[in-house]
Amino acid sequence: MPLTVLQIIPALGSGGAEQACVDIAAALVKRGDRAIIVSTGGWREKTVEEAGAVFIKRDVATKNPVRIVRNAYWLASLIRHENVGIVHARSRAPAWSAKIACRLTGCPFVTTFHAAYKFSSVVKRAYNSVMAAADRVIAISPFIAAHVRKHYGVGEDRLRVVDRGVDVKALDPLGVEESRVESLRMAWRLKADENVILLPARLSSIKGHETVIRAVALLRRQGQALPPVLFVGDDQGRQGYTQRLCALIQEEELDDIVRLVGACRDMAAAYALARLVLQPSKVPEGFGRVPVEAMAAGVPVIVSDLGGMKDTIVEGKTGWLVAPNDVDAWASAMAKALAMGQEEVAAMGKAGRAHVAAHFTDAMMITKTLAVYDEVIQKKKTVIARRP
């Protein structure tokens, strides 16, 4: 009998959690199972349906306690109606609804820790704890696994480490059509054969854009020749931060170098334009998908020496780890990267692709996640068989 897995996630827009959700849904359908995604929605809705999964729109992003409980009872009804075998929650607010619904129905409950959630109070810690209250708790990196063990007491009997994965084939620069690259080149007003430095991240103060602006300004004062530096991502309503970045760019007289180009749907083409990718996060990333994507695309990376990214970069071989917020260190690392010859860049790109192919593919992530599902179902069958 096919297994029905219901994944619940706040939104289906950009982000590693959203991509993983869609990847798992497609994999379930491919192996003959059923996949349901409950979410407030986003631009990935069409991708979900094209993969043969079922998308159900519901405001599960709400943090309102009354609505969370209402969602729980609605979800319990859905679980019974669709004969759901596993509920997999990928964020805290919907996880509360999912936990209650699973208690009401006896359905197995799985969560994925996509981040090292902060807790500045007892209330916040209690709110976060739902992610540790599942039959199986998936951590997206060794860094997150250590966080979950230390702060939430999840034992090895329930904790499973499943590194995020990327589509290495789709990111292969040799497989990206020139027309796609040229389309981006025109949209971003780049010169022919001009390569760029990319910082792909939502426009948020925790992503370290200001560090890069100041590092670029320092390099320029030192006489360093610089390619265009493009911030790829939208502000998701944080207009104040966008205005702050624009003011800093003007203050440092970098309007001709640093540009905010908005979100990009074709990141494989974007990486094909890049000679260097930056991820200067100011807080630990749970995994850090961008550097892994960049390495898969054969592009050297410079990232903050924090969190999950410490486990994905091979220092000096696939990229460099740099102290966050250290403008001098970032300027030095960028100058070092820009000074590399074509052969050195190619060697680092080849090493990066090989490293990702060996450790961080979407196929590996899918296989390990489906194994967690199968483990949970087998345990439930065993428990049922032992009942008198």
Give me the CATH number covering residue 301.
Answer: 3.40.50.2000
Q: What pLDDT is recorded for position 43?
A: 85
Per residue in 27-58, pLDDT (tens digit) is 999 999 999 999 998 888 888 999 999 999 99
Domain that holds residue 113: 4-165+362-386
Written as six digits, the tokens of 165 are 């994965």
25 and 144 both lie in a single domain: yes
242 and 141 fall within a common domain: no
pTM attached to this predicted model: 0.87
User: Sign (positive/negative) of CA torsion 82, 86, 90, 96?
Assistant: positive
At 219 the pLDDT is 97
The Cα–Cα gap between 218 and 208 comes to 16
pLDDT at 26: 94
Tokens of 70: 């209402």
Q: How far is CA 123 from CA 119, 167, 192, 365, in A?
A: 8, 39, 55, 33
Task: Report whether 163 contacts 365 (CB < 8 A).
Answer: yes
> Which residues are 4's β-sheet partners?
34
**Are residues 177 and 324 located together in one domain of the fold?**
yes
As beta bridge partners, residue 232 has: 200, 262
Predicted pLDDT of residue 15: 75
Do 192 and 120 reside in the same domain of the chain? Answer: no
Token output for 193: 């054969």
Sequential pLDDT tens for the chain (388 residues) = 899 999 999 988 877 788 899 999 999 999 999 999 999 988 888 889 999 999 999 999 999 999 999 999 999 999 999 999 999 999 999 999 999 999 999 999 999 998 888 777 788 888 889 999 999 999 999 999 999 999 999 999 999 999 999 999 999 999 999 999 999 999 999 998 889 999 999 888 999 999 999 999 999 999 999 999 999 988 777 789 999 999 999 999 999 999 999 989 899 999 999 999 999 999 999 998 999 999 999 999 999 999 999 999 999 999 999 999 999 999 999 999 999 999 999 999 999 999 999 999 999 999 999 999 999 998 877 767 666 6
Q: Residue 253, exposed/middle/buried by CB under 10 A (0-12, 13-18, 19+)?
A: exposed
241 and 311: one domain? yes
> How buried is residue 224: exposed, middle or buried, by Cβ count under 10 Å (0-12/13-18/19+)?
middle
Number of structural domains found in the chain: 2
Residue 199 in tokens: 């910082």
Q: How far apart are CA 282 and CA 206, in angstroms?
A: 5
Residue 388, pLDDT score = 64
Same domain, 245 and 333: yes
Say what the pLDDT of residue 115 is: 84
Examine the domain organization and report whether 94 and 211 are in the same domain. Answer: no
φ and ψ at residue 111, rounded to 5 degrees: -130, 160
The verdict on 201 and 66 lying in the same domain is: no
Does 199 lie in the same domain as 98?
no
* Residues 156 and 177 grouped into a single domain: no
State in Å, rounded, how far the first CA of the chain is from the last one. Answer: 24
Task: Return the structure tokens found at 191.
Answer: 């010169």
66 and 181, same domain (yes or no): no
Q: Are residues 54 and 147 in the same domain?
A: yes
Residue 351 neighbours by CB under 8 Å, 6+ apart: 314, 317, 318
